[in-house]
Amino acid sequence: MLWIALLANVQAEDAWATRDVELQRWPETVIEAPPITAEAAAGDKLEIVLEDGDIVRVKKDGDFGWVPADALSKDAPEDEEATDAPAE
């Protein structure tokens, strides 16, 4: 039961694709040429699930996959920041 309480406190972190990238079902370290579960275009918002060195497990619209860490930025694009800004 303790692990459920710990997981409930985990905050998902957002990231944005810095280039077009394919979400791979498994990391290439597990299987060569893994199947593609989804694609993200540059600027797409993704949810970081797990960071493992130079690869990151992400979620996009219900699809999960692995992407290179250098294909992500934790800084929102300027147009994304403008839509998140509170109205005055």
Report the predicted TM-score, pTM, of the whole model to 2 decimal places: 0.74
Phi, psi values for residue 80, rounded to 5°: -70, -40
d(CA 58, CA 73): 12
Q: What is the mean pLDDT of residues 67-85?
A: 79
- Over pLDDT 70: what percentage of the chain? 77
pLDDT (tens digit, 9 = 90+) per residue, 20-42? Answer: 999 999 887 787 888 999 999 99
CATH homologous superfamily of 9-84: SH3 Domains (2.30.30.40)
Reported in sequence order, the residue ranges of 1-88 that DSSP labels E, i.e. its strands, are: 13-17, 21-24, 36-40, 45-52, 55-60, 63-68, 72-73
In this structure, what DSSP letter does residue 4 have?
H
